[in-house]
């Protein structure tokens, strides 16, 4: 199942910068691990925002939720999920 996922990140200003650096490093590692698994084939930055638009290829809604909630920045994200289906005019 394919999903388009928009993730907006909003880290509170009262978190220590050193702690944010640790979380961001863990986020990068986890995101790359998921990408290497083939479950996260596309990841794009949204210009001018602390956001990304991604395509996930997973077996179920539950699997997608588990992957997203495993991201270290998950507590600071607003996430929009759109299920995708093949367009009849697509090649």
In-domain check, residue 90: no
Number of structural domains the chain divides into: 1
Q: Taking Cα atoms as reference points, which of 37, 40, 36 lies closest to residue 4?
A: 40
Structural domain range at position 42:
2-84
Residues 23-72: pLDDT tens digits? 999 999 999 999 999 999 999 999 999 999 999 999 999 999 999 999 99
In-domain check, residue 89: no
CA angle in degrees (0–180, nearest 5) for 85-9-2: 15
| Predicted local distance difference test score (pLDDT) of residue 65 | 98
| Predicted local distance difference test score (pLDDT) of residue 50 | 97
Task: Collapse the DSSP code of 18 into the 3-class scheme (helix H, G, I; strand E, B; otherwise coil) and give the result.
Answer: helix
How far apart (Å, rounded) are the C-alpha atoms in residues 80 and 75? Answer: 14
| Predicted local distance difference test score (pLDDT) of residue 8 | 98
| Predicted local distance difference test score (pLDDT) of residue 23 | 97
In-domain check, residue 42: yes
Read off the CATH number of the domain in which 11 is found.
3.30.70.1060
| Predicted local distance difference test score (pLDDT) of residue 56 | 98
In-domain check, residue 70: yes
In-domain check, residue 46: yes
| The overall pTM is greater than 0.75 | yes
In-domain check, residue 91: no
In-domain check, residue 7: yes
DSSP notation for 55-72: EEE-S-HHHHHHHHHTST
| Predicted local distance difference test score (pLDDT) of residue 73 | 98
């Amino acid at each position: 199942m394919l999903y388009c996922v928009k993730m907006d990140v909003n880290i509170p200003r009262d978190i220590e910068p050193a702690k944010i650096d640790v979380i961001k490093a863990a986020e990068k590692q986890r995101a790359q691990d998921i990408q290497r698994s083939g479950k996260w084939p596309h990841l794009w930055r949204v210009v001018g925002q602390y956001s990304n638009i991604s395509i996930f290829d997973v077996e179920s809604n539950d699997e997608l939720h588990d992957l997203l909630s495993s991201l270290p920045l998950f507590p600071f994200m607003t996430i929009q999920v759109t299920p995708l289906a093949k367009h009849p005019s697509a090649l």
